Structure 1
């Protein structure tokens, strides 16, 4: 059950009052305490009715929110906790709560290379301590792929901060094809992750061409505060809408890629589509299935299709089918050598 912030403030206020056994608390006292707390929070008068606080007490007593507060009325008008040690802040975590928290923290740790993670370290440590004291640690049941040895990960946060603060970069970069590194001024726009590798997307100074730079090929990062930052209207989800991978060919014509997958592998592609445009074209009698996607033809697409080996046949377009055939022929030569 969702709780709005005002209700949560009232619950905490009532809880704090009932923990104070040095005075007697009437319903009117609780109403005034809740009104004062909401005024402190909102900065304005908030009308708290008798009915509202009565419903709050009823909710605290119930198990709907897991409180089961032992609120009693004595002398027909005063409220207190029958258990002097009770507080809604001392509610133990359920096993399901602890499992959810543990797995959530494990997933969030995948982003520990970003400084944003540091702001939550204290919270994580407290939660871990809470969980540990209530049960023995269990092994994680969710595992996310992450190559911690990947070169360039140490640059993630620095580049992330540069993008947020709109700082122009002076980069030293060497692609796998280049013999020597080159240095240039770069306007960073966003970071892209694909297949466990990270890329920096932006534009060189004086150019409108969008470049995608692999972090593991960045040899050095410096800043140039003398150059005004050039913002971009490009949005990552739109930029990669017609692309598999990171090689974007927006000046190329979109192609209808039609491919046939055998019976054994068709369910994998049907349940995990290659692209958002994927459509099922035909189911054949032998169990094979023909699919279609509408994308740009690029290196990553070819690698994806090649990865299915003899279980996938490209039917169209003709130039892609020809390239796939040639690659399989060259690959066969490798296995025919002694």
Structure 2
């Protein structure tokens, strides 16, 4: 049996069970049907199926469990739903790329610089074992490269980029470093102590993006969007604190509880004239000044 055939079989099993809990007989019937449709032999015994479940768990980190009362197999989404969702998303992409014979004819990739994901495994190891790391880092707004030694706390994703949240040994501040901006990563043998009260979820609870808290407390922000733009904001909220205040044919208005960081200001700018800042007044004035600067640029 070829590796490609095995991977295709794993794909069928996972996608079938994720839709509904299934008995082994139902899974067998599905594999038999796909064998006829795809001209492969996906038929397996109960023993091979159990081995497949171990392979799926080991290779893809997708745990398929058995409900003895229902006598059905299922994927548990209740434990760490966000992580499980991303694992299944990565599984879908992997299989889509794996089955395509000539990718250039079927998939158009975004032309961009690699995201630094090759560092993820090493960084996770350092985070779990509280090991200091050393790397070269280059900011977007600076030409020179600096060497950093930091104690890594966590990894964070924002707008398809990955960042390591770490305490900089130079000034003792907690910062975010883009993985695509670092090179020559070295995991040292030196240990560091992570603060017992640090939680990446708590640290960024009222933040938009990867810029950490820049004030004593978050502010209430009220934004008014055009009805058309509001459709997107409803389906993809700006933040978990988002509350809808007005939703009609003339306006879509929301409130947020956030620190006003550079990341959030740049997000507001990206909406152009589809958004109006209602409050706070300081942010409204900042947006007005920026609009005047843009207007003068083209005047």
Shorter-chain TM range is: 0.5 to 0.7
Determine whether 1:327 maps to 2:279: no
Asked which structure has the greater RCO (Cα within 8 Å, sep 6+), the reply is 2
1:288 CA drift (Å): 0.8
Greater strand content: 2
Distance 1:291 1:86, change over 3 A: closer
Instruction: Give unpaired runs (5+ residues) of structure 1.
Output: 1-58, 68-84, 92-99, 113-123
Q: What's the TM-score, normalizing by structure 2?
A: 0.62
Please state whether the residue corresponding to 1:264 is helix, strand or coil: helix
Please name the residue that 1:201 is paired with.
Answer: 165
CA distance in 2, matches of 1:168, 1:90: 43
1:160 CA drift (Å): 2.5
Please name the residue that 1:167 is paired with.
Answer: 131
Please name the residue that 1:301 is paired with.
Answer: 264
1:90 CA drift (Å): 7.5
- CA deviation vs aligned residue, 1:182-213 (integer Å, no higher than 9, x gap): 22321111111111111111112375421111
Any conservation in 1 of the 2:115–2:162 contact (CA below 8 Å)? no
- CA deviation vs aligned residue, 1:248-272 (integer Å, no higher than 9, x gap): 1154331111011112211221222
- CA deviation vs aligned residue, 1:11-39 (integer Å, no higher than 9, x gap): xxxxxxxxxxxxxxxxxxxxxxxxxxxxx
CA distance in 1, matches of 2:46, 2:147: 59
Determine whether 1:108 maps to 2:91: yes
- CA deviation vs aligned residue, 1:32-91 (integer Å, no higher than 9, x gap): xxxxxxxxxxxxxxxxxxxxxxxxxxx98xx56757xxxxxxxxxxxxxxxxx9944578
Distance 1:322 1:264, change over 3 A: same
Equivalence map 1:172-251=2 (5 Å): 172-205=136-169, 208-225=172-189, 227-233=190-196, 234-249=198-213, 251=215
Please state whether the residue corresponding to 1:248 is helix, strand or coil: coil
Instruction: Give unpaired runs (5+ residues) of structure 2.
Output: 1-22, 30-42, 50-74, 76-85
Aligned-residue CA RMSD in angstroms? 3.8
Q: What's the TM-score, normalizing by structure 1?
A: 0.56
CA distance in 1, matches of 2:298, 2:137: 36
Equivalence map 1:248-263=2 (5 Å): 248-249=212-213, 251-263=215-227
